[in-house]
Structures are given as structure tokens and as C-alpha cells.
Structure 1
Amino acid sequence: MKQYITYIRVSTSEQGKSGLGLEAQQRDIDIFLDQFSEVPFEVIARFQDVQSGGDDDRPELAKALAMARKTGADLLVAKLDRLSRKVSFIATIMDDKRVNLRVASMPHADKFQLHIYAALAEQERDFISARTKAALQSAKARGVKLGGMRDKTMKRNEAAKTKADRFAASVLPLVGKLRDAGETLENIADALNEAGKLSPRGGQWTATSVKRVIERA
């Protein structure tokens, strides 16, 4: 039977970004397992870090790699940059004969293709960083007060936080009653959807969005 160890990662700053959240990564992994995996298969362990991809000292990743080496199970990640943002680190893992790396978003890619992709992605990030620095220098040369720009951003963030807090307070009574009645997060999400109440982002409720409302309150 084919065996997998899954690993997902998100940094604090990335948690709300589309395509990088934990739910999105799990969705991609599930698609891979459903449509591209050998059968039968089993996921023998799941690991998760909330830490920067530039930091290679991640405890859950270390556990995932150790188990992959011990069991021979494939290490499955949603996207290559969830493993690391450094080509050198990715190359080291791919050179490890005891680790078989699979990337859900590139189900047919071999080690050579993964290495090329990692190198191109790193070049792109370096270019974006250089472009951002050049834009800031240009703005400064034109007399733009960069501190003022940050102040505006902080005000927008504060306004968004206030709005989110207000929204959480509006649905908390119903959520609280259902929670006190012993309902699961999934059942609470279903109840809110059936009641026609939109989630904070204007879509359907999920167990995760219910959990966030509870935590915010």
C-alpha cells in the first residue's frame, strides 16, 4: 500500500492570503490523493508548522522528514514553497535518497523539474524584493513621506480589525448557544449557512471561520 506523510506550512503573515492558507494546502493535497495517487494508499501522519519558509529550523518539518526516512513513506506537500523558500534547502532534501518528495500542485514533476522550479521561484522573489526597494527609493526621491504611507496602512488595518470585531459580536450569541448545546464547529457552520448568514468574507461558513469568530470574541 502506498503511504504518505503530509506537511503543510503557513507563516503568520500568510494565513489570510488566498492560495497559501492551511485549508487551501489541505485541499490541494486531497485533490492529489484523490486523482493522482496510486491506490490503495494511506496517510500515516500529518504535520503542520506556523513559521516562515525562510527558517529551515522547523520542528514539525523535522519530524516529518525523520518519519519519511524511517518508514519510506512519500513526503507530500501542497506546493514547493511550503517546504522551503530556499533552493539550497530543497536541493538537500531531494538529494536525500531516503526521502521521496511529492508536490501536489505538480503531480507528475520529477526531481529535476522540481529543482528548476525552485530556482526560478527564488529568482522571482529576489527580483520582486529588488523592485520593491527601487520603488521605495524612487518614492523617497520624489519627496513621498514613507512613514505617512505606513500610517495610512495601519489605519486601514485598524479599521478592518474593528469591523471584524463588530461582526464577530453580532453572530456570537447564536454561535455561543449552539456551542453550549454541544454542537460541533461543522454543525454550527451548517446552521449559520442555513440561516442565510454570510461569513465575514461574504461567503459560506466553514468550521474554521466559526472557530475564528469564537477566538476573536
Structure 2
Amino acid sequence: MRQFVTYRRVSTQEQGRSGLGMDAQVRDIGIYLEAYAEQPFEVIAEFVEVQSGSADDRPELEKALELVRRTGAELLVAKLDRLSRRVSFIATLMDDKRVRLRVAAMPNADKFQLHIYAALAEQEREFISLRTKAALGEAKARGVKLGGLRDKTGERNKAVQAKAKTGAERVAGLIIPLRTQGATLREIAASLNKSGVPTARGGQWQASQVQRVLKRLGT
């Protein structure tokens, strides 16, 4: 039976951006497993991390890789940049004969293709960064005040965080007692779904969402 270890990552800044949230990664991984994975298959573990893709210290990824090396399972990520934004990291990982990597968004890509894609994506990010700096410099030269944009962004972020906190408090009375009784994140998610309690967006609960609620509640 084919075995998978899934890894999902989002940075603090990316949590609210379309297409980069945990829900989108769950969706893409699910599509891969349903449409492309060799049957039968088993997901033996799921790892979730809130950390920058350029950071070296990512304990959940290290746990996922250790399990992959030990069991022979394949590491499955939604998109290549969820694994890392650094081509050097990805290249080193691909050289590890004990790690087999699958990318949901590129289901038929081999190691060579993934390496090329990572290199091109890194070049594109560097170019975008330079282009942004140049645009900001031109705007500043024209006398445009840039601080107001950052202030509005900060206000939006605060509003999003407040809404998330309110949503967490809404289900606190259900989640905390279950957690206190020793229920796992998956078990809590299943209980919420069975009880017909929707997420803040009206969807089904996943273990990662329960984990985020517990963090917002400080438990």
C-alpha cells in the first residue's frame, strides 16, 4: 500500500492571502490523493507549520522528513513553495535517496522538473522584489506618502485577527472540554462536524483548524 506523509505550511503574513491558506492546501492535497495517488493509499501522518519558507528552523518539517526516511512513505505537499522558497534547500532534499517527494499541484512532475521549477520560481521572486523596490523608489520621488498604505494594511490585519478571535471564542465551549478529556485534534474536528457545527467560513472542520482555534484561545 502506498503511504503518504503530508506537510502543510503557512507563514503568519500569508494566512489571510487567497490560495496560500491551510484550507487551500488541504483541498489541493485531497485532489491529488483522490485523482492521482496509486490506490490503495494511506496517509500515516499530517504535519502543519506556521513558519516562513525561508526559515531554517522548522521542527514540524524535520519530524515529517524523519518519518518519511524511517517508513519509506512519500512526502506530499500542496505546492513546492510550501516546502521551501529556497532552491538550495529543495535541491539538497531531492538528493536525499531516502526522501520521495510529491507535489499536489504538479502531480506528474519528476525530480528534475521540480528542481527547474524551484529555480525559476526563486528567480521570479528576486525580480518581483527588485521591481517592487524600484516602484516604491519612483513613488517616493514623486512625493507619494507610502506610510498610509502600511497603516491600512495594519488595520485590516487587526480586523482579521479580531474576527478570528471571536470565531474561536464561539466554539471554545465545545473544543476545550473535549481537549481536556484527551481528545485528539482529529477527534475534535470529527465531533464538531458530526454535531453540525460549521467553521467560521461555513465549511467542515480539519485537525489544523482545531489547532489554530486552541492557539487563539491560549490553550
TM range (shorter): 0.7 to 0.9
Task: Name stretches of at least 5 consecutive residues in structure 1 with no aligned partner.
Answer: 193-198
RMSD of aligned Cα (Å)? 3.1
Task: Name stretches of at least 5 consecutive residues in structure 2 with no aligned partner.
Answer: 179-187
Superposition pairs of residues 6-21 of structure 1, within 5 angstroms? 6-21=6-21
Q: Across the two proteins, how many residue pairs are aligned to each other?
A: 203
- The 8 Å contact of residues 56 and 84 in structure 1, kept in 2 or not, is answered as no
2:96 maps to 96
Aligned AA (1:94): M
Going from structure 1 to structure 2, the CA distance change for 1:154 and 1:31 (only over 3 Å counts) comes to: closer
Superposition pairs of residues 87-166 of structure 1, within 5 angstroms? 87-158=87-158, 164=163
- Which stretch of structure 1 is more off in the superposition, 141-150 or 80-89? 141-150
Superposition pairs of residues 1-217 of structure 1, within 5 angstroms? 1-158=1-158, 164=163, 172=170, 184-187=191-194, 190=196, 204-207=202-205
Partners in 2 of 1:131 and 1:9 — Cα distance? 26
Partners in 1 of 2:25 and 2:69 — Cα distance? 23
- The 8 Å contact of residues 6 and 46 in structure 1, kept in 2 or not, is answered as yes
Q: CA deviation at 1:178?
A: 7.5
Instruction: Return the index of the structure with the highest Cα Rg.
Output: 1
Going from structure 1 to structure 2, the CA distance change for 1:187 and 1:57 (only over 3 Å counts) comes to: same
Q: Deviations over 1:115-171 (max 9, x none)?
A: 011111111111111111111101110111222332343345456666x389859x9
Q: CA deviation at 1:104?
A: 0.9
TM-score calculated relative to the size of structure 2: 0.78
Going from structure 1 to structure 2, the CA distance change for 1:65 and 1:135 (only over 3 Å counts) comes to: same
Identity %: 62
- The 8 Å contact of residues 8 and 22 in structure 1, kept in 2 or not, is answered as yes
Partners in 2 of 1:64 and 1:181 — Cα distance? 29
Q: Deviations over 1:161-206 (max 9, x none)?
A: 66x389859x95xx68887999943256x466xxxxxx86xx6344
